[in-house]
Amino acid sequence: MSWGRGLPAGALTTWVGTGVVVVDQATKLWAVHSLSGSPPGGQSILNGWLSLILTTNDGAAFGLLADRGILFILVGLVLSGIVLIFARLLPHRRPLLQVSLGLQVGGAVSNLADRFRVGHVVDFIRIRFWPVFNLADSAIVCGVGLLVFYLLSTPDPRRGNGGQKQRSRAETTDFPSPRTVTGTPDQRRP
């Protein structure tokens, strides 16, 4: 039995997305309760390469376009809706694509939940030389990476062996050329 077969359309995307929301919201809740009294640099792990530090983000990724919360809510809702509709139209034979979309929509919905619930996104993971992020951000990045991998590794159905584009049916139909037709005009009529 193939992975994803027998599931309703979009179910794998929905399950992955729901899992991302649950795990991300749980870790953010933990971060708010556990890291609120941390030192200014956060709790250092791995000799400073990884730190846990509670921050908030009113803008887009990496704090861009701060104070535009309503714009991000609207864009997030529209994009999440489009992804979920698209996921329902995918064939069941594309589980990698469905997982990719689930990661992306789950991350987007979880960050949207933060904006609705507390007015900003909760971030708490910092890797040296990288802005602070959360698991939803990681899910979005991984989902986009899987989508790129899927698009680059899936053969184009319009291409045949050797990467040569297959000819259309009209191009492959052998019609007699006018020079090879024999007989009188009356014999050629159906």
Catalytic residues: 123, 137
Distance (Å, whole) CA 5 – CA 80: 24
Distance (Å, whole) CA 4 – CA 100: 13
* Tokens matching residue 21: 């929301």
> 122 pairs with which residues across the strands?
56
DSSP, res 120: S
Range 6-11, long-range pairs (CB < 8 A, 24+ positions)? 6/92, 7/92, 9/87, 9/88, 9/89, 9/90, 9/92, 10/84, 10/87, 10/88, 10/90, 10/98
Q: State the DSSP string of 52-80.
A: EEEEEESSSGGGTTTT-HHHHHHHHHHHH
Q: Which contiguous run of DSSP H or E holds residue 122?
A: strand 121-127
